[in-house]
Amino acid sequence: MIISIALIASTVQAQTTKSKTIEIQGYAERTVTPDEIYVRITLKEYKSGSKVISMNSLESGVVKAIKKMDIDTDNLTVDNIYGYNWNWKKKKPGEYLATKSFRLKLADVKRVNDLIDKLDPEGLNSINLAEVSHSNIDAIKMELKAQALKNAKKKAAFLLGAIDEQLGSAVEIQEVNYGYQQAAYARSAYRAVESDANYKSNLEFKSIDIKSEFRVVFEIK
């Protein structure tokens, strides 16, 4: 019986000494213009009369095009290689036409139109945006994380001050994962402008919104 009383007394004491807390959401955001544009270029072999225009010829055309644009060839990598031969038993020379895609890194989306103009239109199967990013995105994300936590602390201190309470230390921190939003590009920049042969695209990407948010629990002194 004495042991039971001691346990009950210990439980009551633990409950009464439980610290008070306040839970806050801290948020920070920054808008940047992407300076890393990744374009996927897909080439497909084709026949010109009885002659097959090979993938080596098409790939060589892409390399020559980016060199003329003063783009480092290191920015061009193979993305995928694929194709399909529905009946290999009936295959004859020239029947199987390979497809190959490449990934090209550009600093300026305005250069996409110039690139398209320099490629073989018959061998160009498709071209699309694979990814957009910013060269300093990791550093920006870290800065936003710190700012979001500072904002949470500032907000908590303000709210507690309104009720004459003091802010204590953080007892729990949980990040809300936002990543960053992919930017959208004005599609009209990809269309050929027949009315003006001297037209140069000046359309920009929409900016990237980089966000950071934390759930923080602070002690109340």
pTM (two decimals): 0.66
Output the pLDDT for position 43: 95
CA–CA dist 4, 7 (Å, integer): 5
CA–CA dist 118, 68 (Å, integer): 9
- Residue 182 CB partners (closer than 8 Å, separation 6+): 131, 132, 208
Burial of 180 by CB count in 10 Å (0-12 exposed, 13-18 middle, 19+ buried)? Answer: buried
Q: What percent of the chain has pLDDT over 70?
A: 74
Q: Name which of 33-42, 115-124, 182-191 the model is least confident about.
A: 182-191
Give the best-scoring range by mean pLDDT among 28-42, 88-102, 146-160, 202-216: 146-160
Structural domains of the chain sorted by starting position, each given as residue range(s) with its CATH number in brackets: 18-34+135-221 (3.30.110.170), 36-133 (3.30.70)
Q: Name which of 36-45, 163-172, 196-205, 206-215 the model is least confident about.
A: 196-205
Average pLDDT over residues 167-189: 68
Output the pLDDT for position 7: 41
Average pLDDT over residues 186-194: 39
Output the pLDDT for position 86: 53
Phi, psi of 172 (to 5 degrees): -155, 135
CB neighbourhood size of 138 (10 A): 10
Output the pLDDT for position 201: 55
Average pLDDT over residues 45-65: 92
Q: pLDDT grade, residue 113 (50/70/90)?
A: confident
Average pLDDT over residues 207-212: 89
Output the pLDDT for position 45: 92
Average pLDDT, whole number, for the chain? 81
